[in-house]
Amino acid sequence: MRDYEVSQRHRVISWLKKNVSEDRLQHILGVEQTCISLARCHQVDEQQAAQAGLMHDLAKFFSPRKLLKLATEAKIPVDEICFSNPHLLHAEVGAVIAQREFEVKDLQVLNAIGNHTLGTPQMSRLSCVVYIADALEPGRGDNPELAAMRNVAKENLYKCVQQTSDYSLKYLVSKQKVIHPRTVLTRNWAWAKARESPPSP
């Protein structure tokens, strides 16, 4: 790892310690490491994956008012669901914070941060890695379904994006929570991609 990257990682972690809970920081570090592992499996740049994983939840603890304000200022589209549930904006607002606080200019990294919650059709392999890692890092627990998904994650990126979306959708339905259409669109896109994509070597 280059000196700049080590320095930036320390800066990000110091910032996170002031802006998220200790439990959330441990989740973030778990996502970072899971991103690196998945990047190795799927020929994704490890440094980009680590950077996006470390910064994916920068805005997680921002207030609803702050999320809406920053989204409006950054011209992020805010639909009716996000307006009523501003926490859904933390991913895209997090990408804004990555730019402003840490001078991140890499659009692939910024998009991976912005897509980690709802996903989006046609997202890059890097975005897929972060989307999956957020759900499957070790701190998320261990049950037969998660164990099976972790195995699939190493072999078929798009199949695991579909399964991760399914897992999220089942949770949201069970808790009677609102479902954003992007999660469904992401699931259907990944389902189609998985059918045409062979497993990684």
CA distance 140 to 146: 9
Residue 44 resides in a domain? yes
* Band of residue 144 on the pLDDT scale cut at 50, 70, 90: very high
Of the chain, the end-to-end C-alpha distance in Å amounts to: 26
Residues 6 or more apart in contact with residue 107 via CB below 8 angstroms? none
Full residue range of the structural domain in which residue 78 is found: 3-141
CA distance 89 to 36: 25
Residue 103's domain is classified under what CATH number?
1.10.3210.10
Residue 24 resides in a domain? yes
pLDDT (tens digit, 9 = 90+) per residue, 93-105?
999 999 999 999 9
* Band of residue 5 on the pLDDT scale cut at 50, 70, 90: confident
CA distance 35 to 47: 9
Residue 16 resides in a domain? yes
How many residues are present in the chain? 201
Residue 127 resides in a domain? yes
124-to-13, 22, 161, 162, 201 alpha-carbon distances in Å: 26, 30, 12, 14, 19
Residue 1 has what pLDDT?
62
21 versus 201: the higher-pLDDT residue is: 21
Region 62-67 average pLDDT: 98
Residue 152 resides in a domain? no
Residue 54 has what pLDDT?
98
Residue 132 resides in a domain? yes
Residue 137 has what pLDDT?
98
| Whether 93 contacts 56, CB under 8 Å | no
Output the average pLDDT for the chain: 95
When divided into structural domains, the chain yields a total of: 1
